[in-house]
Amino acid sequence: MSGRFAPTPSGRMHLGNAYAMLAAWLSAHARGEDVRLRIEDIDVPRIMPGADEWIRDDLTWLGLDWSGDVVRQSQRTALYDEVFATLHDAGLLYPCFCSRAEIRAASAPQEGDRFIVYPGTCRRLHDGHPDEAAARVRAGERHAWRLAVPPAGAQDGRILFDDRVYGAQDYDLGAALGDVVLRRSDGLYAYQFVVTLDDLLMDIDDIVRGRDLLRSTALQIWLRQRLIDCGVGGRAWQPAQTPDYAHLPLLDNAAGVRLAKRVRSLDLGHLRAQGVRPEAVVGYCAWALGIIEQPEAIDAREALACFDWRHVRAVRGRDFKVPGDVGARLLGM
């Protein structure tokens, strides 16, 4: 069993990515596990050439090591095809012909994190007129494939889990997530499908990531169980056993906007070129995680000696604001 780094190689890692990777590394090592590296390069249009190498180089520079071979999602399509067919044969998927605009127009007002719950148009088509839906697929009409989750209010769609930072979670899948896309209309497999499958097949039992994925965890727990029911992977697991999850407060810029790879100023390439030391980045991130009381240069091993989820729980009340002059502060550390 292991923890994991699961970066998307869409650009250079920024301070927020370093912070999440440090937390994943500390969590796994604190429980005596190592970390696997999975490059999530399945979303081809978002991938930046060279970013995969940068990520490995930046992780090494930070002193965050991983074990085993690097897994690249782009090389696992045959496996994904096979499992996708299994889910399809189990009756868990249906084709969706809706455009984004149609979905938006038919949706209830969006919530804060802009997660749109699919209004179910094509599920009704599939349930009521399966022959028509099948004929439209055969005729080559553009379509995505959605996962049919239990409807809002259904008892088997209620997912409870305990997050190590945010505590007890209780989601109604149908109301909070709805029927998510597992295969997009451009043919690419979607994040929810590949991340759930890969975490299962790689025997990942320690998942650490940003709190923006809290509600996705509910879906991933449900989908994971469907995969196991279909006989996919999971032999090392007890029935109903799920990974341990920890979601982290996000790192925002001074204006309160989440750090993005598009904004170069806080990326590790820029910071390294200015002469910032890895211990400064690790120490700053450890401080943002609440692990140490003052931002001071420390290495990952030293941070491990202080690590306890209780510290992160204590700072979970608000996201962390990175000041605009952080580069200068890091240089001085």
The residues that touch ligand GLU, with contacts defined as CB under 6 A, are 6-8, 40, 195, 209, 213
Minimum CB separation of residue 206 from ligand GLU in Å reads 11
Minimum CB distance to ligand GLU smaller for 8 or for 253: 8
Minimum CB distance to ligand GLU smaller for 56 or for 277: 56
Minimum CB distance to ligand GLU smaller for 197 or for 292: 197
Angle, helix 121-128 to helix 130-138, in steps of 10 degrees: 110
Conformational region of residue 243, where left means phi above 0, alpha means psi within -120 to 50, and beta covers everything else = beta
Minimum CB distance to ligand GLU smaller for 23 or for 280: 23
Minimum CB separation of residue 8 from ligand GLU in Å reads 4
Q: Residue 60, SS3?
A: helix
Nearest to 3 by CA among 36, 49, 43: 36
Minimum CB separation of residue 221 from ligand GLU in Å reads 13
Minimum CB separation of residue 43 from ligand GLU in Å reads 9
Minimum CB distance to ligand GLU smaller for 252 or for 296: 252
Q: Strands, DSSP E only, in the chain?
A: 2-5, 35-39, 71-72, 93-96, 144-147, 158-163, 167-172, 181-183, 204-210, 244-248, 251-252, 320-321
Minimum CB separation of residue 95 from ligand GLU in Å reads 26
Minimum CB separation of residue 288 from ligand GLU in Å reads 18
Query: Measuring CA to CA, how many Å separate 136 from each of 49, 94, 130, 146?
Result: 37, 12, 10, 15
Minimum CB distance to ligand GLU smaller for 195 or for 291: 195
CB-CB contact of 158 with 185 (8 Å): no
The answer for residues whose C-beta is within 8 angstroms of residue 144's C-beta and 6 or more apart is: 95, 96, 181, 183, 184, 185
